[in-house]
Amino acid sequence: MTTEILDQNVLRDIRKLGPVDVVVGIPSYGNASTIAGVAEALGFGMDKYYQGAKVLMINSDGGSKDGTPEAFLSADVPDRICRMAILYKGTYGKGSALRAIFEVARETEARICIVADADSRSITPDWARQLGYPVFQENYGYVTPFYLRDKHDATITNSLVYPVTRALYGQRIRQPIGGDFALSRGLVCILRQDRFWESHPSIAKFGVDIWMTTTAICEGLRICQAALGVKIHDPKKPSRDLSPMFRQVVGTMFELMKRYDHKWLIIKHSQPVDIYGEYRFSEIEDIEIHPLVLLNIFFEPLSLRFSEIKIPQ
């Protein structure tokens, strides 16, 4: 399986590196303007909070044309942090990028795998501690983010994914598809071996986050949320990104409902999930909304459909 996911040269370099304690993965596509800041924040965080640990930072890229891997490799990161930029194999999408990162974590026998979005503009070195320490020191199996976000951000999460996850599985995980996670070695092994990769192609794309979270819940891993503060990133464009994201996330969510019906059918109520770290209120960056543009996007396909209807004479 490994050679189907990782290039032979990448695999050789990883095996030459040997075992590591922590793998930090940054999936990317077209993130040259932000990925260096993400790498630097996590690099200095790993250097500060994981002294003595061997750390490998991986950029799993989808063939960016803007120099994203080069920006990653040129970031100012402490020398003791090993870095590698790889081009993942398979279907283009976030899930395929994460699959390559999981394979690297398995090959290096990492105790912990931390994943961070490449477009984050609010990430700090403390995120390395907040995400990683629950797994590294407290024996949690999965850590999800707990952000402060503008009410117009995370549309799919707020309107659908959070309430459905809470209602079905009884866990109040506020950001089931947040993008910044930490996973134990055990969860990485579960995910990389899952047959869902072959039978449900949506997890190769945006469906991957809800699959990870649902799997962690239903397979009985200890879960907590990391208090990360404000989340500022490049917002998705509704006309381009949210439609395929909606289909992939919701499609995956419903497939998982069938898979785990023996779990959610017995749930009677929801319960809070631990929050790791100190939660502080901060000023949030407003997201600009253009209602007329959104209305036009909504009505345009309807107008085309109605124009095709023939009125009987």
* Interval 254-278: pLDDT, tens: 999 999 999 999 999 999 999 998 8
- pLDDT of 235 reads 61
Query: Using CA atoms, how far apart are residues 277 and 184, in angstroms rounded to an integer?
Result: 19
- pLDDT of 29 reads 94
Is 313 inside any structural domain? Answer: no
The CATH number that applies at residue 134 is 3.90.550.10
Taking residues 112-123, report their average pLDDT: 95
Lowest-confidence segment of 67-71, 93-97, 113-117, 283-287 by average pLDDT:
283-287
Is 169 inside any structural domain? Answer: yes
Is 312 inside any structural domain? Answer: no
Query: Using CA atoms, how far apart are residues 8 and 293, in angstroms rounded to an integer?
Result: 47
Is 135 inside any structural domain? Answer: yes
Is 20 inside any structural domain? Answer: yes
Q: 3-state class of 61 per DSSP? A: strand
Q: How many CB atoms lie within 10 A of CB 186?
A: 13
Is 261 inside any structural domain? Answer: yes
Q: In which band, very low, low, confident or very high, does the pLDDT at 236 lie, cut at 50, 70 and 90?
A: low
Question: Residue type for 55, please?
Answer: V
Q: In which band, very low, low, confident or very high, does the pLDDT at 282 lie, cut at 50, 70 and 90?
A: low
Taking residues 114-140, report their average pLDDT: 96
Query: Using CA atoms, how far apart are residues 124 and 26, in angstroms rounded to an integer?
Result: 15
Q: Are 61 and 79 in contact (CB under 8 A)?
A: no
272: left (phi over 0), alpha (psi -120 to 50) or beta: beta
Q: In which band, very low, low, confident or very high, does the pLDDT at 244 lie, cut at 50, 70 and 90?
A: confident
- pLDDT of 3 reads 61
Is 276 inside any structural domain? Answer: yes
| pTM exceeds 0.75 | yes
Number of domains in the chain: 1
Taking residues 101-111, report their average pLDDT: 97
Taking residues 164-175, report their average pLDDT: 97
The better pLDDT of the pair 136, 155 is held by 136
Taking residues 22-28, report their average pLDDT: 98
Query: Which range marks the domain in which residue 224 is found?
Result: 2-307
- pLDDT of 220 reads 96
Query: Using CA atoms, how far apart are residues 155 and 158, in angstroms rounded to an integer?
Result: 5
Q: Report the side by side order of strands in the sheet with 142-148.
A: 82-87, 55-61, 22-28, 112-115, 181-184, 142-148, 223-230, 275-276
* DSSP alpha helix (H) spans, the chain: 2-5, 8-17, 35-49, 68-73, 94-107, 126-138, 155-156, 162-169, 185-193, 196-199, 208-218, 243-259, 261-264, 291-307
Query: Using CA atoms, how far apart are residues 294 and 239, in angstroms rounded to an integer?
Result: 8
- pLDDT of 31 reads 96
Mind listing the pLDDT tens digit for each residue in 28-42? 999 999 999 999 999
2: left (phi over 0), alpha (psi -120 to 50) or beta: alpha
Q: Are 38 and 59 in contact (CB under 8 A)?
A: no
Is 173 inside any structural domain? Answer: yes
- pLDDT of 281 reads 62
Rounded to the nearest integer, the mean pLDDT of the chain is: 90
